[in-house]
Chains A and B, each alone.
Chain A
Amino acid sequence: MIAAMIQASTTTADIMKAGLMEEIFSERTLQATGPFMALSFGILLLVLAEIVPGLQLLRKLIFIATLGVAGWCAWKTIGAPEAWVFEDTYVANSTTGWWTMLFLAATFIAWLFGQRYYKAESALEGEHDLLMMSACAGMVLMAGSRDLLVFFVGLELLSVPLYTLSAFQRSRRESVEAGLKYFVLGAFAAATYLFGSALVYAGTGTLTFKAINPADLGGPLVIAGAALIAASLFFKVSVFPFHMWVPDVYQGAPAPVTTFMATGTKAAAFAFLVPAAAALLPYESKHLAAVIALVTMAVGNFGALVQTDLKRLLAYSGVAHAGTLLLAIAALQGEPGPDAAMRAVLFYMAAYVFTAGGAFGLVTMLESQTGRAVTIDSIKGLAAKRPGIAAALALFMLSLGGIPATGGFLGKYLVFSLAVRSDLLVVALIGIVLSVVALAYYLRVIVALYMQPEMDGKPVPTQARALSGLVAFACAVMVLALGLVPAWFLDSLR
């Protein structure tokens, strides 16, 4: 911790020497940090909107406009030459540009599904939007950082609002419980992370990836540090054995927040996990990582098999997906290299954000309409009453299961092809068997939707909610687009 602070102060001093103003206001820096700046400015505006009377009416407009401006800034960095700024601690290139777009999409999806969700807390919705936007800014910072300390700032900027958001429904016991649980474990993970960074600093003399001398990597301090950092990141992306909190928190937290956590947080942590693993993990960790990936897939898939609550089911499925993605991290130590791994992870997460975002979103909608938890029983016969919603949910399940023509398939395909290319053939085969297990519970949802009659006493809601339906439709279109015409996305990644 102390080492980290020393590093921070020296970095600041160096920047002072180089001329702080020129550094910050150079065109390159502005372009690189554009999305983050836009979001920060948006946060300030949201705060203002809360204080200044009359401005409250503009809150939603500010939220959408900020996301739009940030998206435009991110769009500018896609295809532009790579820009390293702030002493090589932060980078902007096509990949981070797409990651940013993805975070903005995840935020927007969760936010849209959250409209009219809160009843008792509707007076506090301004606070809710504010926290969501801060978390989004944190994610953007995480994806671009190539320095352990800069990442930590982003991580906290994301986590602290999320703790609050999880406990946002303060009248509901489960929500408060989820918030507390997430906070305690999250704080512990943060401490682990800092301790790990300190060890890495002690072993290499720097926190910036570019400055690390590869010769220092084999040392015991660095390995211990990297392991601690990995543990805390595994906590964030819900990898075994740090996944226990996921089902409880996902179930307890307000559904829009769960949507946000399941998609955005996971994406942001993986966006950093790839470069961090490339910089810190030694080649020998490949097989260990692969084994952890398989165990995570097994835990997630077998856990999901027995769930009846849809949020819990999706939570376990999220654990399994984190395991699949970890396979890409394991493979990056092999022949394909970190760039290929980054592309695969980005594509996979893009498909996942829209798929899981849409699925959680529909659960949000059903939950807020019936006022009860959404279970397999309660969605029985939904196809007869609400064919559109059922079709979208079925599509999301097929995409999560990795059936072709959906984005989920292509993502899985890319990850498994990485594994095959880096000689993890057996691992890939076991992973394949585990995905068959996964299909069993995704199919159970479709069976309930289409093939079973409505349960007595659990009528499905019959009214449509136009906005949620529209967002779900947009998500479905994206899932199909990523599966059927992926050229535009894949080509821009090269």
Chain B
Amino acid sequence: MNFLSLTVLIFLPLVGALLVAATPSKAVGLQRGITLLTMFATGVIGIMLCLDFNGASAAAQHVEQRPWFTLPGGIPVAYKLGLDGLSVLMVALTALLGPIVMLSTWGHIHERVKEFMVWLLVMQTGMLGVFLSLDLVLFYTFWEVSLVPLYFILGIWGGSNRLYATIKFFLYTVFGSLVMLIAVIWLMYRFGTTDIVQLTNVAANLPGDVQLWLFAAFALAFSIKVPLMPFHTWLADAHTEAPTSGSVILAGVLLKMGTYGLLRFCIAMFPAAAIEAAPLMMALGAIGIVYGAFLAMAQTDIKRLVACSSVSHLGYVVLGLFAMTAAGLRGGLLQMVNHGLSTGMLFLLIGMIYERRHTRALDQYGGIASVMPVYALFFVIAVLSSVGLPGLNGFVGEYLVLLGTYERAPILAAIAVTGVIFGAVYLLMATRKLLFGPLVLQANKTLTDLRAREVVLMLPIVVLMVWMGVAPNTFLARTEGSLVDLTQRLDRARAVRTAELIRENETRPTVADAEESQNR
């Protein structure tokens, strides 16, 4: 049996979860050990698979395909997995964050450890499955299944208002995905297949208005998940109530499922509709950037602040993706990873200080850089990455996104640039309030600096931040083949659309024609 396969990657965490479930509930050390080992193994396998990936090719690699079942009407549903340029960075990010999240749980999960570990591992399976499925039904299954663990993580280990947040989160996302389900059903019976690769090839030929409806159904589900501006209210609640590890998963990977879906389905599968809807989506992205920044400025709770900044950062991703230029798509993909790393790290750091002081109110802090210098160092790195300092990862992504947007819509690019400034304002202001200034409060004077575990779990993130900032091509090269292919598809759709417009103009009787016929 080949251990370096996608099936092993996806189901290894599930096996780990079953093992953890079988342990006696008192054996906390054993449960943590198994989970860490599984997460670590999953991370290694995932990253090795991503390294063993030829970025020049647009075709899915490491493909595994087996018949699953046949739906009435003779539609075969397959268990089909594959890695391609659109998913490779997401898989690497998910695999990497798994062990990091696991290491962070030592600090804040002390009750019902066993259950938490089980859900964490199930979550990992669900998320990897979403990124690797190449069958629509399989994708949908993983998509919904990945909701359940987070629902439990939020609902059991969350803050005081957790029940409200958890139900809101669940119902919001389920509503979106059920609307998507109707579109999925329609697509399947229209084309008689559930294979995503095949559907991507044929769905582009659907007439424009049909594509637009399908696009809308898929986009609704993904926009709620991202969340795009009008659907963002669940996010702040969920982040505020979630335990640190829940927040990291939510920001690091789960929200990326939304942007990934926008890319893989809304843009790649329905290019004509995507071109049609791009101005709206880009506008929503730009509004999200500024609106999220304003929201963040008004927060006094540091965790809520970072949650709102997520809305702003994901606005860049959507903006870049829907610019649909070479630079925009690359920037969007890169920004997805950047956000996962920088926001994930910020949530980790907030979790660490919360474990020590049990408050997240900014005015309870100040000057702690003098007692926690290592902490301050990491915090500043994360903030600088998040605001897009050249030399760190955030800059490359934001720059490419802005470049791509400028080609299509200079005004939106101008609006988005203000977001960069606002981003610097609220994050640096928060940093000053948290770390610098006079050390007044007695409780802050006795804070202990980071432990070895806490440093170790953040080191890989910092390394990646620098690496992506200095040599982003290591990562972009792997997406090259798929993005070139996607750009060609979009160009074709644009050409078709232009041809249609020209034909319409030609056949439409002009004033001159009408006069001529009257004269005759």
Contacts and interface: CB of A to CB of B under 8 A. Distances in A.
A212 to B, nearest CB: 26
A403 B144 contact: yes
Interface in A324-383: 336, 340, 343-344, 383
Contact of B162 (A414, A428, A443, A451): A451
Contacts of B151: 443, 446
Contact of B71 (A416, A417, A436, A446): A417
A420 B174 contact: no
B148 A447 contact: no
Contacts of A211: none
A94 to B, nearest CB: 13
Interface stretch (B175-183, B329-337, B500-508): B175-183
Contacts of A446: 151, 155
Most buried by A among B69, B143, B147: B69
B370 to A, nearest CB: 40
B71 A440 contact: no
Nearest to B140: A404
A244 interface: no
Contacts of A421: 73, 189
Contacts of A436: 171, 174-175, 178
A451 B116 CA distance: 13
A488 to B, nearest CB: 8
B70 A487 contact: yes
A490 B72 contact: yes
B53 interface: no
B484 interface: no
Given A420-B185, A451-B156, A433 B69 contact: no
B68 interface: yes
B72 A493 contact: yes
A491 B68 CA distance: 11
Per DSSP, chain B at the interface is helix
Contacts of B73: 336, 340, 417, 421
Most buried by A among B67, B145, B174: B174
Interface in B115-165: 115, 140-145, 147-148, 151-152, 155-156, 162-163
Most buried by B among A384, A417, A440, A493: A417
A490 B69 contact: yes
B139 to A, nearest CB: 10
Contacts of B72: 336, 340, 343-344, 414, 490, 493-494
Contacts of A187: none
Most buried by B among A336, A398, A403, A405: A403
A409 B144 CA distance: 10
Nearest to A336: B73
Contact of B163 (A414, A417, A440, A447): A447
Contacts of A95: none
A443 B182 contact: no
Nearest to B172: A436
B231 interface: no
A387 B152 CA distance: 14
Contact of A439 (B162, B170, B189): B170
B186 interface: yes
Which range holds the interface residue count of chain A? 35 or more
Interface in B35-80: 67-73
Interface in A409-451: 409, 413-414, 416-417, 420-421, 425, 428-429, 432-433, 435-436, 439-440, 443-444, 446-447, 450-451
Contacts of B142: 404
Interface string B165-200: 011001100110011011001101100000000000
B71 A487 contact: no
Interface string A73-89: 00000000000000000
Given A343-B72, A436-B174, A493-B72, A425 B145 contact: no
A450 B152 contact: yes
A214 interface: no
A491 B69 contact: yes
Nearest to B183: A420
A440 B167 contact: yes
B141 to A, nearest CB: 4
A302 to B, nearest CB: 15
Interface string A450-491: 111000000000000000000000000000000001110011
Interface in B60-102: 67-73
Contacts of A403: 144-145, 147-148
Contact of A398 (B148, B163, B175): B148
A414 B188 CA distance: 12
A430 to B, nearest CB: 11
Contacts of B170: 439, 443
B327 to A, nearest CB: 37
B70 A491 contact: yes
A443 B175 CA distance: 14
Most buried by B among A398, A451, A485, A490: A451
Most buried by B among A343, A413, A444: A413
Contacts of A490: 69-72
A177 to B, nearest CB: 35
A376 to B, nearest CB: 13
Given A403-B148, A420-B185, A450-B152, A435 B70 contact: no
B189 A420 contact: yes
A485 B167 contact: no
A154 B52 CA distance: 64
Interface string B296-314: 0000000000000000000
Contacts of A486: 69
Contacts of A440: 167, 171
A225 to B, nearest CB: 31
Contact of B179 (A340, A414, A417, A429): A429
Contacts of A416: 181-182, 185
A416 B185 CA distance: 8
Contacts of B166: 447, 451
A433 B175 contact: yes
Contacts of B179: 429, 432
A420 B73 CA distance: 13
A439 B171 contact: yes
Nearest to A402: B178
Contacts of A439: 170-171, 174
Contact of B181 (A343, A413, A485, A487): A413
Contacts of B68: 487
Contacts of B156: 450-451
B141 A404 contact: yes
B168 to A, nearest CB: 10
A482 B150 CA distance: 24
Contacts of B162: 451
A486 B251 CA distance: 34
A390 B189 CA distance: 38
Contacts of A429: 179, 182
Given A420-B186, A451-B162, A414 B148 contact: no
Contacts of B185: 413, 416-417, 420, 428
Contacts of A435: 178
Nearest to B176: A436
A439 B178 CA distance: 12
Nearest to B162: A451
A383 B111 CA distance: 13
A429 B163 CA distance: 28
A447 B155 CA distance: 7
A452 B156 CA distance: 8
A414 B181 CA distance: 11
A487 B71 CA distance: 9
A433 B185 CA distance: 16
Contacts of B141: 404-405, 409
15 contacts: A340-B72, A343-B72, A344-B72, A387-B25, A403-B147, A404-B143, A420-B185, A433-B178, A443-B170, A443-B171, A444-B167, A451-B163, A485-B69, A487-B67, A494-B70
Given A452-B163, A490-B69, 4 more contacts: A403-B148, A417-B73, A451-B155, A451-B162
